[in-house]
Chains A and B, each alone.
Chain A
Amino acid sequence: MWPNKFEYTRAGSVDEALGAISDEGKFLAGGHSLLPVMKLRLDAPEQLVDIGGIDSLRGISANGELSIGATTTHAEIAASADVQAMCAGLASACGQVGDQAVRNFGTIGGNIAHADPASDPPTVLVACGATVHIQGAGGARSVGAEDFFVDLFETALDDGELITSVSLPNCSDCQCAYVKFPHPASRYAIVGVAVCLKMDGDTCASADVAVGGATVKAVKCAGAEAALAGSTLDDAALSAAAEAVKADIGDWLAGDIAYPEAYRQQMAGVFLKRAVAAATG
């Protein structure tokens, strides 16, 4: 409740923010991940550079691909017709983050920079092949979502770098869903599964699958994808995919005292089936 002392700077532009940030500083967007951690004194940055007022970082555009500014809120993404059309799973995931107050303040950029493994949007971003656009003092670069999330609360961001936007390929011809098994205390995901299927009649032409919550980071699940692709999503294929997904995440499992790793791993299989049903239903 009583954070350590820090300097506060409100930046008017990305250049200003990059110029202001110090070695011991952090960027502040919606504040819904960072401030609670500071209030518990689990983190004590000496400087906060507030990027919440930078207009160029906020908003959604849809020109061939979907581009979402870093300080766009979860609520804005969930409500966006473009996101719903081009990546329904992301709209769904952002609509399941926290509660309404959190969704109204929390931002996509802040969310992925924090890289909480049980958060919802990263799982969809990994499944759907999103790209994270980053700017630092040395210039701009882009990193695929799968490479962006490195480990528990660890990303590819270097010190002083700022996420400017996230882009996703147009997936309007996919059947896409994010299904979450919420932790009853925190409502973070015990397991969250994102699937994006390209259907050719009754046959699944290709599948993208990612799992979060049960893992230290959102994990792309090649084994489950292979089990689904080419099938008619019949029971045998779903069971094979459910088995495969447990193996896919085997090296990355996470858990807590109430919902241990082994349970979450099993639930990944259950919720993979439910995600496929949601996507095709």
Chain B
Amino acid sequence: MSTRIFGSGIKRREDPRLITGEARYTDDIKLPGVLHMAVVRSPYAHANIVSIDSSAAEAMDGVVAVYTGEDLDLAGLPTAWLIPDSDLKTPEHPALAKGKVRYVGDGVAMVLADDRYRAQDAADAVVVEYEELPAVIDPEAAAQAGAPLIHDDVEGNIAFTWAPFDKEASDEAFAKADVVVSERILQQRLLPTAMEPRAAMAQFNAATQELTLWCTSQNPHIHRFIISAVTGLNENRVRVIAPEVGGGFGSKIPCYPDEALVSWAAMKLGVPVKWTETRSENYLITIHGRDHVQHVEMAASKDGKLLGVRATVYAGMGGYLSTAAPGIPTILHGLLYVGPYTIDSVYCKSIGVMTNGTPTDAYRGAGRPEATFLLERMVDNVAREIGMDPAELRRRNLIPAFEDGYDVAAGLTYDSGDYPAAFEKALDMAGYDDFRQAQADARSRGRYLGIGVTAYTEMCGLGPSQVAGAVGFQGGLWESATVRVTPTGKVQALIGASPHGQGSETTLAQIISEELGFPVEDIEVVHGDTTETPMGWGTYGSRTTPVTGAALAHASRKLKDKARVLAAHLMEANVDDIEYADGSFSVKGSPDQAQSIQDVALMAHLAWNMPEGMDPGFEESQFYDPPNFVYPFGTHIAIVEVDAETGEIELQRYIAVDDCGPQINPEIVAGQIHGGVVQGVAQALCEGVIYDDNGQLLTGTMQDYCMPKADMFPNFELGETVTPSPHHPIGVKGVGETGTIASTPTVYNAVLDALAPLGVDQIDMPLTSAKVWGAIQAARS
């Protein structure tokens, strides 16, 4: 019996193995004779390395070798997003520091021992003498004259300056405006905190010169490419396997020093080498997200027409430029500055600044949350300035519905949207007008309720490869997939992308099932091994469903075309007379004569009786390069109450109306929205990296770094509209990041709405009770 399929909230097939602990992660893989790597890490944010004495460590039981940066013959780790026209500098990023360390956690030496404990003991016994240098963490401060210089070849610590828009036109728009509002917005650093920390294990076969690297990767084909480049091995001698990967949120896109180190050591010593990050290391060395200081302005007319937005952004890059880092505060940020509004003037100057923090890179949403936040924040500021209700101001400026392409001032062509429909639906669900009355009543009783409304759209489903090339991304952004059917009618779908918790094994099987009629339980999705799967650029940017899904839909359609011809041949009928329904081909007018898709697959494999010119086998592949991004959209609304006595915030209601086109699996869509909203709300309310002035990470454990907890949240109220993407074979848009993109400004604006009668108009995120209380006291005094 077939399970039906597209649009059905079937359970995630991944979950039984994940929730019973049967899933096999990198650290679960045991190889005989493996050596364990521990890395000696810098305790200083900025220091010269005066000397390294590893003699005591080398003499310890079980220690095989200790290497420093001077011992390595590895190329530096590449930066792979070379944004054009930005005077980009790409300072060398050695796998182990040479001469100088640039953030706390920077690797200084590697210890290899027969046991993980002994490796750590020996790492502690390596004596490194440092000459401490002044450190700088704040990106705006690091860009000022006189700041400590972090890389000699990055003058003024400025790695790039990206400003592609017409400044004069922007200045003109602002000069003509009735109203200009401004704010300095701090997009604090965040820790991605995937449930599984990073891990890597390498094995080298000297006879075949083949290196196998198991690692926590969102993109094993990109890891293969980079490991090949840094080790000098031919790419076809490198096999990268991402086994079960326990979440990433972007943090497992980059290729890190650790993956290069285990590969190099395995090649040098001829034995497998393994490394698994501790959570403390994860917080120190795995990429952080966000870290912008933004100076933002918005221009408007006094009757509520939004005219322009402009910003100067200081984006903290950390001690080195991570794999995709330059693209995040630029391409994925500034191009989103008009959001869903009819704003005609845009300007963004984004300055990438080296600091003594952990390197930053893509974190869920990656540049788009930072854009959506500043835009939504400024819309609320305009509303307050001109005395208009913020929902009404948004309503007046939303782009009207469009079905096939809408050009915006930021240079993008949105694919499809009906922003007003989602907006009105969300306002209805929230009972917006009634709430304003309830809010007024509550205020008269000394209670502070607030509401925040965010209308958003975002670019995802990255993306057309031609665009990738034009914006300096050092790769393509297409995907490929093979749909392979066995003689007994079971399906293996091989994909180049590498899902790691999204439920794609389920949704992608649903696409194939819909297209070909195989029961979904007969379809297996294979991913995460560069030898087993075709080339693909990976799972990030909400792209696997839109891009890999399209490749699978096209490959399935090719198979269906073949099946139709073969079925006609087997039933001695004209192809035009063949009808298809639910996995069965029949001849028009003779419904008793039928060939199931399984029958056809078997006959294609047997090839006993093929039509003239048809090749045997039942397998098709498709390379799919999307013609445009996809642009999901929606409106989110939060209702909060602030306890003025303590500054505590209670999130009372959260309404999310999202449009990601047709939903393949509504349960998985809801799960993505839930998770995204939680991550975004956490940025508004509690998450935030704190460094001290010396660059020491003060939020190094979950005792200090506030991960969101279930009891912080009400039941989310989800709604949907359905606007298919016109350029996509099944109309779907990505939904992995929308929740994170929309929710941070929604909750922030709700809190500031609640605090308005107390005279508070700005608080840096996260909105901890201490900061909210402090702002209330300051406004009262």
Contacts and interface: CB of A to CB of B under 8 A. Distances in A.
B578 interface: no
B279 interface: yes
Contacts of A257: 690, 692, 698, 704
A2 B116 contact: yes
B67 interface: no
Contact of A186 (B124, B703, B773): B703
Contacts of A1: 278-280
Nearest to B692: A257
Given A2-B116, A5-B117, A266-B773, A186 B702 contact: yes
A185 B702 contact: yes
A222 B449 CA distance: 37
30 contacts: A1-B280, A2-B38, A2-B116, A2-B117, A2-B120, A2-B278, A4-B121, A40-B280, A40-B701, A41-B120, A41-B124, A181-B646, A184-B685, A184-B686, A184-B706, A184-B768, A185-B686, A185-B702, A186-B702, A186-B703, A188-B703, A257-B692, A257-B704, A258-B704, A260-B770, A263-B770, A263-B773, A266-B773, A267-B646, A270-B645
Contacts of A263: 770, 773-774
A41 B774 CA distance: 36
Given A41-B120, A258-B770, A259-B769, 16 more contacts: A2-B117, A2-B120, A2-B278, A5-B121, A184-B712, A185-B686, A185-B702, A185-B706, A185-B707, A186-B704, A188-B703, A190-B769, A256-B704, A257-B692, A259-B768, A263-B773
B716 interface: no
A146 to B, nearest CB: 27
A186 B698 CA distance: 14
Nearest to B766: A258
B703 A259 contact: no
B705 interface: yes
B704 A185 contact: yes
A132 B685 CA distance: 40
Contact of B703 (A41, A185, A260): A185
A281 B133 CA distance: 58
Contacts of B124: 41
Interface string A199-232: 0000000000000000000000000000000000
B438 to A, nearest CB: 25
A41 B121 CA distance: 10
Contacts of B770: 258-260, 263
A168 B701 CA distance: 35
Nearest to B36: A2
Contacts of B280: 1, 40
A260 B702 CA distance: 18
A88 B231 CA distance: 65
Interface in B109-132: 116-117, 120-121, 124
Nearest to A187: B709
B775 to A, nearest CB: 12
A196 B313 CA distance: 54
Contacts of A2: 38, 116-117, 120, 278
A41 B685 CA distance: 31
B703 A258 contact: no
Bin chain B's interface residue count: 20 to 34
Interface of A: 1-5, 40-41, 181, 184-186, 188, 190, 256-260, 263, 266-267, 270
Contacts of B773: 263, 266
Contacts, number: 55
A37 B768 CA distance: 27
Contacts of A190: 769
Nearest to A188: B703
Contacts of B701: 40
Contacts of A4: 121
A150 to B, nearest CB: 23
Contacts of A5: 117, 121
A47 B645 CA distance: 48
Contacts of A181: 646
Nearest to A273: B645
Centre residue among B124, B686, B769 by max chain A CB count within 10 A = B769
A185 B707 CA distance: 6
Nearest to B648: A181
A268 to B, nearest CB: 11
A267 B712 CA distance: 20
B403 to A, nearest CB: 44
A263 B778 CA distance: 13
Contacts of B774: 263
Nearest to A40: B280
Interface in B624-665: 645-646
Contacts of B690: 257-258
B582 to A, nearest CB: 48
Contacts of A41: 120, 124
Interface in B502-536: none
A68 B18 CA distance: 40
A185 B690 CA distance: 13
B279 A258 contact: no
A1 B117 CA distance: 9
Contacts of B279: 1
A101 to B, nearest CB: 14
Interface in B672-719: 685-686, 690, 692, 698, 701-707, 709, 712
User: A256, A260, A263 — which one has the most chain B CB atoms within 10 A of its CB?
Assistant: A263
A186 B686 CA distance: 12
A270 B646 contact: yes
A185 B706 CA distance: 4
B71 to A, nearest CB: 24
Interface string B311-329: 0000000000000000000
Nearest to B773: A263
A267 B645 CA distance: 8
A-B pairs, 7 with minimum CB distance: A185-B706, A186-B703, A1-B278, A2-B120, A263-B770, A184-B706, A259-B770
A263 B49 CA distance: 41
A5 B685 CA distance: 40
Nearest to B690: A257
A256 to B, nearest CB: 7
Most buried by B among A3, A267, A270: A267
B37 to A, nearest CB: 12
A77 to B, nearest CB: 23
A112 to B, nearest CB: 19
A35 to B, nearest CB: 14
A260 B773 CA distance: 12
B328 to A, nearest CB: 26
Contacts of B706: 184-185
Contacts of A270: 645-646
Contacts of A186: 702-704
Given A184-B706, A185-B703, A258 B117 contact: no
B644 to A, nearest CB: 11
Nearest to A191: B646
Nearest to A4: B121
B579 to A, nearest CB: 59
A263 B645 CA distance: 11
A256 B121 CA distance: 31
A181 B38 CA distance: 39
B638 to A, nearest CB: 17
Contacts of B646: 181, 267, 270
A259 B698 CA distance: 13
A190 B646 CA distance: 11
A185 B705 contact: yes
B764 to A, nearest CB: 12
A247 B252 CA distance: 50
Nearest to B645: A270
Contacts of B645: 270
Contacts of A40: 280, 701
Nearest to B116: A2
A267 B685 CA distance: 19
Nearest to A186: B703
A190 B769 CA distance: 11
A129 to B, nearest CB: 29
